[in-house]
Amino acid sequence: MRKSSFLLILSFVLPCFFSCDFAIPTAIEITGTPSFRFAETVNVGKMFTDLFDESMTDNEKISFFPCKKTETLTYLIHMDLFSEKFDVEEDDPNNIKLPDFPGIEFDTSHLGIKLDEDKTLIDSSKDRVVLPLSEIGSLLKDFSFSEYKTLLYISGSEILKKAKIDINIEKVEIENGIEKNILVKMEKNVDINNKPSKIDKWEKEGYNDKSYPDDGGIDAEIPITNKDIAVSFKVYFPKGETIMLDDFQDGNIKLEIVVWLPFVFTAKEDGAEIKFPEDSFLSSEDDLFGRDEPGADSKIIDIIESLSVDIKFQKNPFVGAELIVFSKGVTIKNPVSSNTLSFKVKEEHMEQINDPANYPFTPNIKISFKKDDKLIFPRVFNVVEFGFKAKIRYRIDFQE
């Protein structure tokens, strides 16, 4: 949907010049408001989910599953924080080999005695898992994710019954090319309930429930933002706990986080905006009217005094917001009151577009919301029809 849309208008209008028989006049002026509509399905949701999918695919510790039965566009995200098997070897009663875990700090002398300080089993601070949400977040200004759920699963050896876990959540930002990590939340002394997720089932069958998993995961209350989120943790034995050799029977330790993430957003401020990805409908890298340089002639601009473009959605999540079409020196605003986005270019806008100072006219669109407004992406998020209506005026003067 770029210059081709307006070329269609031109092909619709020009035959009017030649459709009638008439005497040779000294001038011809043609006016009217021709319009036409055509059905075309454009998957708008895919424009956003492609960004999301690409960012998630780059991380081998993350699996994600589109939720097939929800009305709202939703993903289930699985983060594999840590998974390690271990064995206890007894060469003889006096030679006990502990499992080799990152960050382990106690030795054989601590087995069978009461700990006088916290002892770390696993520390992942140097191997954080990052949930990459900045790509989709870059299209959302002053919005926050809503209605999500974060669950923690810790499972494996019986030793976990005596352990605790601390979780650090950091927001990752890039400032002047330098990565900054900002602590968002710290969960301390989280109890461990020894429950695994159903990741093996999800990888075979996908995720087919209508809500988040209700299977014993710990409510981790991890804040999800429109920035990348880094998760690190420490599993430790608290002071006063007694560690026995029998605690280290053959087994494993597995830590997982599962995020239930509907595409539901809340505007934090007036003027919160959602932009459409580059190269989406109504975006253009070149001048939309086909001009090669400022002030260049364009038959389309000569003919059209005003123009209306209607984009009809199967279900429109933008009702109540404001459509903003913007290019260099040109800003066009229209309220959204139905399933149709109406992009109305009035006569004053055409004058601005025709001003060489505003060349080229390469429009992009964004939707503006008021504080506390909800933006909810439907799972089936399609444009189903485009409509065009032009007010035209064309005059030809014949010289003797």
Q: Of 98 and 127, which is predicted with more confidence?
A: 127
Which residue, among 377, 379, 272, has the nearest Cα to 318 in the 3D structure? 377
Question: Average pLDDT, stretch 38-66?
Answer: 88
Q: Cα(260)–Cα(136) distance, rounded to whole angstroms?
A: 16
Q: Cα(237)–Cα(241) distance, rounded to whole angstroms?
A: 7
Question: Average pLDDT, stretch 270-278?
Answer: 87
Q: Of 58-72, 229-243, 370-384, where does mean pLDDT reach its minimum?
A: 229-243
Determine the Cα angle at 303 with ends 297 and 309, to 5°.
110
Residue entry with tokens 């539901």:
264
pLDDT band at 99 (very low <50, low <70, confident <90, very high): low
Q: Of 40-49, 142-151, 173-182, 307-316, where does mean pLDDT reach its minimum?
A: 173-182
Q: With a cut of 50, say whether residue 5 has pLDDT above it.
A: no
pLDDT band at 16 (very low <50, low <70, confident <90, very high): very low
Which residue, among 222, 127, 230, 128, has the nearest Cα to 174 in the 3D structure? 230
The strand pairing partners of 236, in sequence order, are: 120, 164
pLDDT mean across residues, the chain:
81
Question: Average pLDDT, stretch 216-226?
Answer: 84
Residues in CB range of 160: below 8 A, 6 or more apart:
154, 192, 194, 235, 253
Which of the 8 DSSP states describes residue 161? G
pLDDT band at 11 (very low <50, low <70, confident <90, very high): very low
Q: With a cut of 70, say whether residue 299 has pLDDT above it.
A: no
Q: With a cut of 50, say whether residue 65 has pLDDT above it.
A: yes
Q: Of 239 and 20, which is predicted with more confidence?
A: 239
pLDDT band at 365 (very low <50, low <70, confident <90, very high): confident
Q: Is 276 left (phi over 0), alpha (psi -120 to 50) or beta?
A: beta
Pairing state of beta strands 364-369 and 322-327? antiparallel
Determine the Cα angle at 51 with ends 47 and 54, to 5°.
130
Angstrom distances, CA of residue 74 to CA of 62, 64, 206: 16, 10, 13
Q: Of 191-195, 253-257, 274-278, 310-314, where does mean pLDDT reach its minimum?
A: 191-195
